[in-house]
Amino acid sequence: MKQFSVVIAGGGSTYTPGIVMMLLDNLDRFPIRTLKLYDNDHERQAVLGEALEIVLKEQAPDINYIFTTDPEEAFTDIDFCFAHIRSGQYKMREMDEKIPLKHGVVGQETCGPGGIAYGMRSIGDMIELIDTMEKYSPDAWMLNYSNPAAIIAEACRILRPDSKVLNICDMPVGTIRRMSQIIGKTPQDLDVRYFGLNHFGWWTSVKDKEGNEYLPQIRDYVAENGYLTQIEVDTQHMDQSWQETHKKAKDLLAVNPRFLPNTYLKYYLYPDYEVANANPEYTRANEVIDGREKEVFSTARTIVEKGTGEGSEFGIGSHATFIVDLARAIAFNTHERMLLIVENNGAIANFDDDAMVEVPCIVGTDGPEPLSQGKIPEFERALMYQQVTVEKLVVQAYIEGSYQKLWQALTLSKTVPSAKVAKDVLDDLIEANKDYWPELK
C-alpha cells in the first residue's frame, strides 16, 4: 500500500497530539512515510513536537518525523496538509467571546460577532497557507478544519477557487456519534441526509445500512434529553458548557420538530438565553485554557521529562477520526460518504448556487460530489439565506477593506439586536484586532 507524507498545519494546537495518535492508530488503513508539524509559534509547537518525537520513536520508528517553522521544509514533498490553525491564538478567542458579551450580544468562537472577528483574522492566514502548499507541493490536498469554517470556505471560493482544499467540520460527526448511542448503533452503521451551512443545519434522515429510518426514535429522545447521552458524559469527561449545549437541542427541536438540529443553532434561535446564561468574565476560551490546554501541555512536558510516552499517553482525538476517512477517500478513491462544506450548485434545489453549504458528499480521487437534498422548507431557507449573506459580506469586507460591509454583516446577524449595537461591537472589535485585520475604510 502506498505511503503518504502529511503536514499538520497548526502543530502547536492542543488537538495535534490527538490527531497524531489517531494517525498512528490507523497506519494499516493510511500508511505514513513522513509526518511533519508546522506552526509559526516555535516555542508553543516545540513542547508538543518534542513529546510527539518520543512517542513516534516508540510506536512508529520508521516514520520520518520533523517539526518546523520553516514553510519550505514543512510543505515540500507532501501529499496532504491537515490544517487546523488558530489566528490570534486563545488570547484573541477570549476577546471574540468577551467583547460581544459586554454589549449584551452572544460571545462565541464561530457564531455572531466573535465568529466574524475570527474570520477576519483567519482569511489571510489561510490563503497564505494554501499558496505555500501549492508552491512547494502543487499536487497536494488541503483538508481544512480550521474555524470559522463557513467564512474560510467562502473566502476560498472567491480567492482560490481552483485550489485543492476541502473544508470539513467535526461538529456533525460528534452529533452523529451521539445519535448512534441513542439507538444502540455505531456511526459507521448510519447514513444521514443533512442540509445547511456550517454550524447551521438540520438532519432530515438517519438510516442504517438496511434502510431502516431512526429519525423518529432519535427525535423522541432529543425532545426529552437533547443530544446529551450518559455515555458521552462518562467517557469524554465533557465540560459543563458542552453538556448544556447538547441539552439545549431539545429547545431547538421544539422550534421545528420535523428535523434534528445542529446544536450551534442555539446561538441564533435563543441568543437572549445564551447571553443571560453566559459569564462575561469566564467564557469558553477560559474553560479551554484551564482545561484542555493545561492537560495536553502537561502531558507533553511529562513525556519529555520522562523520555517515554509510557504511562503518560496522549488520547486519540475523537474529533479527528474523520480526517483519516477523508484522506483515504481521496488517496484510494473509496467513495466515502461524508458531510462537507461545498459550493451548492443545485445540491439544495431552492438555494443559491454560489452559497457554500454543508451537505452529504461522495468523496473520491477527484474530490467531493454533493448529493442532492431536494428543496428545503421556507423557515430553514430564510434562516440560511440570512446567515450565508452575513458570511459573504464578511469576505467582501475583508477583500475590499470595507467598514460599511462589515457593519452590515454584523447588523444582519441574527445574534445582534440592532445596527446601533452592531456598530458599537464592531468599533471595539476593530480596536482589539488592529494587529490582525486589514485596515477598514
Q: Which grid coordinates are listed for 33?
A: 512515510
The single residue of 39, 79, 125, 170 carrying the catalytic annotation is: 170
Cβ contact 108:115 at 8 Å: yes
Side-chain-side CA neighbours of 357 within 13 Å: the count stands at 32
The single residue of 221, 264, 267, 268 carrying the catalytic annotation is: 264
Distance of alpha carbon 422 from alpha carbon 46, whole angstroms: 40
Q: What are phi and psi of 200, to 5 degrees?
A: -165, 75
Query: Residues 376-384: contacts with CB within 8 Å, 24+ apart?
Result: 376/195, 376/348, 376/350, 376/351, 377/258, 379/256, 380/195, 380/196, 380/202, 380/256, 380/259, 381/350, 381/351, 383/200, 383/268, 383/414, 384/196, 384/197, 384/200, 384/351, 384/355, 384/357
Cβ contact 178:227 at 8 Å: yes
Listed residue (69, 40, 35, 39) closest to 52, CA to CA: 35
Distance of alpha carbon 260 from alpha carbon 150, whole angstroms: 20
Distance of alpha carbon 279 from alpha carbon 102, whole angstroms: 10
Cβ contact 145:323 at 8 Å: yes
Q: Which grid coordinates are listed for 343?
A: 459550493
Other Cβ atoms less than 10 A from the Cβ of 284: the count is 22
DSSP state, residue 264: G
Residues 6+ apart with CB under 8 A from 217: 182, 183
234 is catalytic: no
**What sign does the dihedral 159-161-165-167 (CA atoms) show?**
positive
Q: What are phi and psi of 83, to 5 degrees?
A: -105, 120
Cβ contact 221:246 at 8 Å: no
Distance of alpha carbon 107 from alpha carbon 422, whole angstroms: 13
List the alpha helices (DSSP H) in 226-336. 230-236, 240-247, 249-255, 266-269, 271-276, 284-288, 294-306, 321-332
Distance of alpha carbon 115 from alpha carbon 239, whole angstroms: 21
Cβ contact 39:10 at 8 Å: yes
220 is catalytic: no
Q: Which grid coordinates are listed for 326?
A: 477523508
Query: What residues act catalytically?
Result: 170, 264
